[in-house]
Every structure is written in structure tokens, then in C-alpha cells.
Structure 1
């Protein structure tokens, strides 16, 4: 048994998806690969900065590594990575606050049940 949940070696197991769910994995890989595409309304640098923010918000260590590296290759600065990180943090905090208002409503409705 491992002593931690995230291990870079886990990525070596991606090929299992090809064996177990080939068509679905192929569709995912194509969709995921569209992040850095050229010619869209959002250029590759900004696509990667968005991906960095989402990776941080979803707390995917593999995604953080991949997209920070790709963002840097696309020309991102460390300051842009910092800002993308804090935009993600602010949205995460905002989501927690607005879910708190939902908790207030559920609390008030619990008396009615």
C-alpha cells in the first residue's frame, strides 16, 4: 500500500484506459488535446493560463504540472501563473461563500421538515 495518494507513476497506467474503455478514452484524449490548439478565439497562452487556474482549483497535481509547463512554453510569466492561481483561489472562495448561503437556507428549512 502506498503512503500517499498521488504518484507520478500513476500516469503510466493511462494505457489501461485504452484497453478498458478505448473509444471513450480516445474521445477524451482528443478533447483534452484541444486545449492548446491554434486558431481559436483564445490563443494558446491564455488557454493554458485558464487550464492552470482550473487545475489549481480542481487540485489535480498532474494537471498543474502539465499546464504550468505548457503555459511557460507558450510564453507565460511567473506573475501570470501567480495571478491565474489567485483568480482560481478567489473563485473557489466565492463558491464556498455562495454554498454557505445554501447552507443557511437548508438550515432554515430543516425546522419545517
Structure 2
């Protein structure tokens, strides 16, 4: 199912839902613009989220963008470990629901 060529079909989606997609792209641009968090760190955050949501498109796109912004292998590696810790932490904290008084 995952094929980066599918992203070519975004033009069809843009045309089919113009108002919503225009709003999405404006929001996306604003979210990733330089601010209190620099571009590289925004891409690393996006990459961690992409790993936790397990979106292969986002993982590829934000890995490329993070590397273009100067991310090192070490930064990418730590980002992956942070994402893994968050997923594991969710499982552990939700496990507390198994134990009744």
C-alpha cells in the first residue's frame, strides 16, 4: 500500500477539496515555519510523531527534511529512541487499568 508515488495524487485531492486543502497547506506551512523552535527541531519532532503514528510517508518526508536541515545520524537515532519510549510508556501506563482494587 505504501508507495511514495501515491503522493503525486495530492494534486487530485487539492482540486477535489480545494478550500479544505488550501487551509491544510496554509496550516502545515505555518506549523513548520521558523519560530521559537527552529526548523531542524520541528522536523525531528515531526519525525518522532511520524514514528509513533507509524506513517511511512511522514517518516520518509520528515527524515529527508530533517537531514536537509542538518540533522545527524545521532540526532535521528535519539529521535527514534524517544519515539519508542513514548510508545512503550503509553503501554506501561495503560497497563495500570488492568489492576482493579
The verdict on a shared fold, with TM-score over 0.5 as the criterion, is yes
Tell whether 2:21 aligns with 1:25: yes
Tell whether 2:14 aligns with 1:12: no
Counterpart in the other structure of 2:54:
59
Q: Distance in 1 between matches of 2:80 and 2:9?
A: 28
Question: Which structure 1 segments of 5+ residues have no match?
Answer: 109-113
8 Å CA contact 1:35–1:44 kept in 2: the answer is no
Tell me the TM-score normalized by structure 1.
Answer: 0.80
Counterpart in the other structure of 1:78:
73
Question: Which structure 2 segments of 5+ residues have no match?
Answer: none
Tell me the TM-score normalized by structure 2.
Answer: 0.88
Q: Distance in 2 between matches of 1:99 and 1:64?
A: 26
Q: Report which of the two structures shows the higher radius of gyration computed on alpha carbons.
A: 1
